[in-house]
Chain A
């Protein structure tokens, strides 16, 4: 049941730009258990997407994976050859990009795009592959699949395009699905449809999923566990309930209180002062210290390690056990 599928250790992905080295991901540790949904949460520039791209080893130039281990099914993906990796990409690990209007090829029909993936990983005839493609469209609940399969992406709406992107990702039944803000560009009613669909598919196909998002509402809804990133490092990692009710890192806490929520109405939102740090010269010590109200001198000097304070609950903060953070949702509910 609790078998580990993916483990990332000390991953560092840097971008060497003319302005300096951007430390987009700087020592990230993540674990994914088979069949679970892991929510990867953070603001823009926190390294969520780069982490996911690093898993597939498709970090765009000038980005480079400098250090770390990405262990998938007991094999380090960073030591594999490009050829061996091709067997894994799309087949074992699949990716859904944020914007379906740019991730689908505008000059190919839906059929072409689905057949490409199916034929790349399975040795079946074209006719069988086409049947399979229609089957996939049914799976992602596209009406009239035998007609829609001959359409081009521009003939479909945003929600439909994202369904196609999902169909393409699950074409060869991957074990791990990386979904990078899959609903950010969609309207709320369509977002609800897509999230429901992804949830059902994940259960049905028994895959694990890493859901990247900045929306705390989305992860509360569908993630089993959550890892919070800030400026290229992991702040906190725990199961969903713990993150929302017993967060120990001041940033997690701040993230929760800064969101205007439908459930709670406050007169004034709590604000995190300042801006997201520059990743070329990140702050010394804990990267959150310039914006943290609990910062002490130690925080400015040393980088806090990710420590397990309870089984399954890891925090990277020196003062995690001293300070008492109150959840904006009220005291811990135990039901």
Chain B
């Protein structure tokens, strides 16, 4: 019982997170704010210890902004983020350097593009040991021992340590990024589209690696992707975002088997299935994502929804409602399954 409790404990809790980016007119002195980009608008979710939580959505829906806000790389406009029981926005915005550093050690980030996230002038050894020298005071000998352990862990050879990033392929670079993130044994690893820029055959290698490493260290993952098939492969629970809001959240199997929100349904049906004989019942959404500067007042999906809408949809934003078995959905029309 006791163990179960710890496993199910939430490691990260995001409450009513909002991030708006102001838009200014040109000019230095007469800068005037002319609008707001509603990147993330009032989202709440929590991640359990040891699980892989997926954040899915199309480009511009606020996945990356959410992740960046958790690490305070973008300062959230409002909201609360609890990490291991502590409110971290106040810690990050305070001047307590020591506390901030402790937090940053516990949350690590793997970026989308391994060609941009590695310093081209540093050797692999420098890159991987940098977080260790910042966060720990290991003697040099142990530092190098750790480096070779990490290289082996992510499937690279010891002689790779003295090389520079340009000598590696995309897949190998992503392995370096993963080794760097794991060096300080983080509690939460944010993986922001880690396989989006990789080829199919290499993609499978990295996905398997992420899975193996999680089993080994029991790290919690926040996995961000637009690719639903990799999400299904990797995640325990998934949240679907549309225009800065979560429209549906459920366990992976539940979400893929019985999606309820019309957007999730359309999203799932748009993925081409690699089977020529698969049944195709494609829902093609009309139109495009509206501008995040002037989003629809009510339901954000109202402009493209295939359901018959009423005044409620247009006027009031639907709330994310629990409908049982950990399945949440934000749609007036599908409150009852």
CB distance from A224 to the nearest CB of B (A): 10
> Do B278 and A263 have beta carbons less than 8 Å apart?
yes
Neighbouring A residues of B211 by C-beta, 8 Å: 268
Knowing A187-B58, A187-B226, A188-B226, the reply to whether A258 touches B266 (Cβ < 8 A) is no
> Do B277 and A335 have beta carbons less than 8 Å apart?
yes
> Do A275 and B171 have beta carbons less than 8 Å apart?
yes
> Do B201 and A192 have beta carbons less than 8 Å apart?
no
Of A157, A260, A275, the contact of B204 (CB 8 Å cutoff): A260
Neighbouring A residues of B232 by C-beta, 8 Å: 260, 262, 265
A43 to B205, CA, bound (A): 15
- In the complex, whether A218 has a CB less than 8 A from a CB of chain B is yes
Knowing A196-B284, A220-B272, the reply to whether A189 touches B278 (Cβ < 8 A) is no
A240 to B272, CA, bound (A): 14
- In the complex, whether A190 has a CB less than 8 A from a CB of chain B is yes
- In the complex, whether A105 has a CB less than 8 A from a CB of chain B is no
Interface 1/0s, chain B 274-290, versus A by CB < 8 A?
11111010101100100
Neighbouring B residues of A218 by C-beta, 8 Å: 272
> Do B204 and A272 have beta carbons less than 8 Å apart?
yes
Neighbouring A residues of B230 by C-beta, 8 Å: 260
Which of A106-114, A171-179, A209-217 is the contact stretch? Answer: A209-217
Per DSSP, chain B at the interface is helix
- In the complex, whether A254 has a CB less than 8 A from a CB of chain B is yes
- In the complex, whether A95 has a CB less than 8 A from a CB of chain B is no
> Do A259 and B274 have beta carbons less than 8 Å apart?
yes
Which residues 108-147 of A have a CB within 8 angstroms of B? none
> Do B275 and A271 have beta carbons less than 8 Å apart?
no
Neighbouring A residues of B269 by C-beta, 8 Å: 192
Q: Place the interface of chain A in its size category.
A: 35 or more
CB distance from B218 to the nearest CB of A (A): 18
CB distance from B8 to the nearest CB of A (A): 22
CB distance from A299 to the nearest CB of B (A): 18
- In the complex, whether A302 has a CB less than 8 A from a CB of chain B is no
- In the complex, whether B267 has a CB less than 8 A from a CB of chain A is yes
CB distance from A41 to the nearest CB of B (A): 10
CB distance from A244 to the nearest CB of B (A): 5
- In the complex, whether B208 has a CB less than 8 A from a CB of chain A is yes
CB distance from A44 to the nearest CB of B (A): 5
A187 to B287, CA, bound (A): 13
- In the complex, whether B101 has a CB less than 8 A from a CB of chain A is no
Neighbouring A residues of B58 by C-beta, 8 Å: 187-190
CB distance from A265 to the nearest CB of B (A): 7
- In the complex, whether B21 has a CB less than 8 A from a CB of chain A is no
> Do B277 and A333 have beta carbons less than 8 Å apart?
yes
Which residue of A has the minimal Cβ distance to B200?
Answer: A258
Neighbouring B residues of A44 by C-beta, 8 Å: 199
A98 to B277, CA, bound (A): 27
Interface 1/0s, chain B 198-225, versus A by CB < 8 A?
0111111101100100000000000000
> Do A241 and B277 have beta carbons less than 8 Å apart?
yes
Which residues 196-248 of A have a CB within 8 angstroms of B? 196, 214-218, 220-221, 240-241, 244-245
Neighbouring A residues of B229 by C-beta, 8 Å: 217, 259-262
Which residues 63-82 of B have a CB within 8 angstroms of A? none
A269 to B322, CA, bound (A): 33
Neighbouring B residues of A193 by C-beta, 8 Å: 284-285
> Do A189 and B207 have beta carbons less than 8 Å apart?
no
Neighbouring B residues of A191 by C-beta, 8 Å: 270, 272
Of B226, B267, B278, B280, chain A has the most CB atoms within 10 Å of the CB of B278
- In the complex, whether A195 has a CB less than 8 A from a CB of chain B is yes
Which residue of B has the minimal Cβ distance to A254?
Answer: B201
A265 to B257, CA, bound (A): 12
Of A241, A262, A271, the contact of B276 (CB 8 Å cutoff): A241
CB distance from B119 to the nearest CB of A (A): 23
> Do B266 and A269 have beta carbons less than 8 Å apart?
no
CB distance from A212 to the nearest CB of B (A): 14
> Do B204 and A220 have beta carbons less than 8 Å apart?
no
> Do A216 and B204 have beta carbons less than 8 Å apart?
no
A276 to B199, CA, bound (A): 9
CB distance from B245 to the nearest CB of A (A): 16
A73 to B85, CA, bound (A): 71
> Do B274 and A157 have beta carbons less than 8 Å apart?
no
CB distance from B52 to the nearest CB of A (A): 13
- In the complex, whether A78 has a CB less than 8 A from a CB of chain B is no
- In the complex, whether A100 has a CB less than 8 A from a CB of chain B is no
Further contacts, 17 of them, CB under 8 A, given A217-B272, A269-B207: A43-B201, A188-B58, A189-B58, A190-B58, A192-B282, A215-B272, A220-B275, A241-B276, A244-B274, A245-B277, A258-B200, A259-B200, A259-B274, A262-B271, A265-B233, A269-B233, A271-B205
Pairs A–B under 8 Å by Cβ, sample size 9? A160-B288, A189-B58, A192-B272, A217-B272, A260-B207, A261-B274, A262-B256, A269-B208, A272-B204
Closest 3 CB pairs of A and B: A217-B272, A192-B270, A187-B58
